[in-house]
Amino acid sequence: MTINSVAKTNTDTTAKIVRDLEQLTTWTIIETNKYLETFEIYGKSMQDYKDTMNTADFTKFFQYIVNDVIEAGIKQLGLNGVREEVSGYDYKFHDTPVEFKLMGGESKASFATGNKTSHFGGAKTNLVWSIKYTFNNNKIDNFGMVVIDTDLTESNVWKSSSGRKDSFSTLELLNDEEGCILSQYGKIKKAVKKLHFIPLPTDLLVAYYK
């Protein structure tokens, strides 16, 4: 279920970053679910908010909490990282920019979603750390994680429509671009043209990678 990240990275620094993100991902999922057991805003649980919002809006809301958990995890685990959240990236690990993406798990072909303006303006960094999740019973019940180096392919992996009202782009990989994936938790499989990224049960992944 995981790719040998060290063997597929092109520098020692990238290998260190990937190992840190693998460790941090597991910690973040566990701690987020623990936090949600008692989380309430005026009597409403996170599930109550999920039930009244679409996936995109809920993810924007939920990501505030997840980012706080990630920041706490960097300190707790003693990792060489810092949260910055500037245009093009969200964190630095070993002084290297890393873009973090949290996304709902509906679209199989999407590995991440991002702001179209920052991508086509050339602001996005090449290292993308993405967690895809599903949310039920007030917890992350399925998730997957990938670390992708977009510099390992010559094609433009960020796709978007040409509509003026569409402000989002999605990161998609063709079947022959699997080499861009430095690490994965979850299932990656080839479809007709594009790779599909499928989350797996949280209990299964946490037990395997903890």
* Domain boundary assignment for the chain: 5-209
**Backbone angle region of 95, left / alpha / beta, with phi > 0 → left and psi within -120 to 50 → alpha:** left
User: CA angle 119-74-77, nearest 5°?
Assistant: 145
pLDDT computed for residue 115 by the predictor: 66
DSSP annotation of 152 reads G
- Judge whether 110 and 140 are in contact, CB under 8 Å: no
pLDDT computed for residue 16 by the predictor: 94
- Judge whether 31 and 37 are in contact, CB under 8 Å: no
Q: Which two tokens stand for residue 169?
A: 């782009």
pLDDT computed for residue 6 by the predictor: 44
- Spell out, as residue ranges, where the chain has pLDDT lower than 50: 1-7, 117-121
pLDDT computed for residue 89 by the predictor: 87
Find out if CATH 3.40.600 is the number for domain 5-209: yes
Alpha carbon distance 200, 205 (integer Å): 7
Alpha carbon distance 103, 86 (integer Å): 19
Q: Which two tokens stand for residue 176?
A: 């022959």
pLDDT computed for residue 123 by the predictor: 61
Alpha carbon distance 143, 160 (integer Å): 24
